[in-house]
Amino acid sequence: MMMKKVLVGLVLLLALAFGGYQLVAVLSYGGTTYYTKVTTGGERISPQDDKGRHYTDYRYHLTGYDEKGHSRMLDFNANKARPLKQGAYLKLVYNTKKKALRAGKPWTASTSRSAP
């Protein structure tokens, strides 16, 4: 009987820990989702890493739209050595606390969403 109580307590503890982790993830990384279409080749930039090495990246300034159709100018880097494919659709999440964008799951115009 004691082993059963310990097992139930352990399962509850793991469930609470997982729920807390999910809450932190939503608060830290969640935000408003915007959809945009790559319409330019981006601006080629050559930033420096912490060790002084240069690398190639591309900066974009594109208009994104939220679920309600409100627009916002999105400034972000592609973090790739080549430009993003023109005509590609992107899903970006803007975190108001961190004032940062992160890429969401990719999507295409052929899914249930209409193009922005």
> Which pLDDT tens digit goes with each residue over 40-95?
989 999 888 889 888 898 999 999 999 999 999 988 888 888 888 889 898 888 87
| pTM exceeding the 0.75 threshold for the entire prediction | no
The average confidence (pLDDT) of the chain is 80
In the chain, % helix, strand, coil (3-state, to 5) comes to 25, 35, 45
**pLDDT number for residue 93:** 85
pLDDT of residue 29: 67
pLDDT of amino acid 37: 92
For residue 112, the model assigns a pLDDT of 40
Residue 39: predicted pLDDT: 93
The HSE-up count of residue 95 (CA atoms within 13 Å, CB side) is: 13
Cα 2 from Cα 6, distance rounded (Å): 6
pLDDT at 19: 84
The answer, yes or no, to whether residue 109 has pLDDT greater than 80, is no
